Structure 1
Amino acid sequence: MTTLPKSALLDAYRRMRTIREFEERLHREFATGDIPGFVHLYAGQEASATGVCMNLGDADFISSTHRGHGHCIAKGVDPVGMMAEIFGKSTGLCRGKGGSMHIADISKGMLGANGIVGAGGPLSCGAALASKIRGNRSVTACFFGDGASNQGTILESMNLASVLKLPVIFVAENNGYGEACAASFAVATEDVADRAAGFNMPGVIVDGFDFFAVHEAAAHAIERARNGEGPTLLETKTGRFMGHYEGDQQTYREEGEVERLRSESDCLNIFRAKATSSGALSDAELDDVDAAVVALIDSAVKQARLDPTPDPAKDLLADVYVSYP
């Protein structure tokens, strides 16, 4: 088990538990019909985002996907502001005009969730190039899925990052499905990480359900990037507990598949078992985190329901254009 101080272990568990509770609650709230637009939930993949982002600070950047809530929370974005944004309220992080697929918080280095598959690659290269020019040792983590691994934007970005030795970590979250299409059908190689060889960068495969494994592998890749040694392709083998989107009937999945994932590969249970068996944390301490997170998300939902919606007269053109001096 990766050696981390108690405070860091509690922080890691809090981030993962917050993602899980946020997503499970959205799963219920979306069914009420009060949330506009589409919602793509991250539940099941918490160890991937948290394992990577625990190695990052506010001066580092991440780019995300349409399944971006977990990346946001793992990077330190406020879940209360996120909830308001998803409910389309003016108190949201993007003033209620972005919604689930466009949450961003530059103050936390979160460049934004993105409804375009694979679009985070060029954004990540841009941020990383700026960091390299400034010489500030900041790095960027580019999260994408197995489906996006076939997009030209991702492949071109990996090539560019390698040629320019940009401080980027490409994090391929392989949850086995690109929408309703199995990765085994759509991806020519069993492991996305194999493609790293074509771009002259390390390709690393890690158990995406194990926070400690992800954290350790990401730490090496991030330190390598900070030291000017260029990008790494890190593949986390993981799985989602929900459908591609809310309302997805998931007829493409085997019977009992999700139940097996929840019972055998729940990253929260794996973390708890390792942390308590080693004596690093107690069940009581983790239970306290659980209770605090439930209260936080409950409060966030109640507040979001009460908050005002954007005023078309005042907000329609706000934040659309930049005025340069």
Structure 2
Amino acid sequence: MGKTMRAAVPDGNGSVGIVTVPVPEPGADEVLVRVEAAGMNRADLLHANGKYAQAMRGASAADTAGMEFAGTVVAVGRDADPGLLGTGVMAMFPGAYAEYAAVPAALLLPAPCSLSPRECAALPMGLLTEFDALRSLARLGEGERVLVTGAASGVGLIGVQLAKLLGAGFVAAATRDPRNDALLTELGADVVPHDVAELPGLPGIDVVIDHVGGAWCEALAPVLADSARVVSVGRLGGRRAMLDLTAFSAKRATLMGTTWKTRGVAEVAACVRAVRAAGVTGVRAVIAGSHALSDITTAYRTLASERAAGKLLIIPQRTEEV
């Protein structure tokens, strides 16, 4: 390991370039990870334009793009567990698009032996986001009915799987593209709506994990069961929605929002502990494609335009570039 590394750094105006920077030194409670693959997220586009500041963004990752990764621990801080050296890990933490990343040890998830580093890199954001929405916020109960909108996104695909793994008795996975139907059904969806006009045909929904917002959020009230919980995770279809508050009130429904932008390391670490304690296993990673770190400009263009199901990856190491 040398003293410098390549990293992808945004200019705040939509462009991202590769620069040479010092390899970060792990802090007392951190580890240094050799990044073998990193997952791309729509929030990366906001970050590239200077519009996605995160509360947990540390000094070592202040400028480096990327929010989730997988790799091998190559150094540990003074107070971190030395037993982590050489282990495969995955994490959601800023600074993923680089050859090395320093991350608080409390944010590490163990990399399943059955999955490759690339598969692991596609999981952390989705696992933590959807577990937080389904279990921590919506309090999903055994046998309840769930609707996941934007279900073919990298995060949404994990939401469909987690809903079933956490005990949902019925999962509707909404996607605009019928080409995603077979995949969503394979991952656990009982029905796949393609348009808001199809929502009234669903049974009463107890929990909605909404990645779309806009018109989809506006259309939810008639399909909700009494005491339903709606969690707004993403706004792929628009930040604003006109809600019939009388209809929501009649169902005694609860509307909640969630984001990682305003949550510090301690809050994220609590979610990591909850995921580990739940022993969630068997979540499948769906990879839409990958780009070398040196091809970061093309990767961002693909992210902005790509509508294929699954997660796009960045491969930082030169020997593994695609």
The answer to which structure has the higher strand fraction is 2
TM-score range, shorter chain: 0.3 to 0.5
TM-score, normalised via structure 1 length:
0.32
Could you tell me the TM-score, scaled by structure 2's length?
0.32
- Structure with greater helix percent: 1
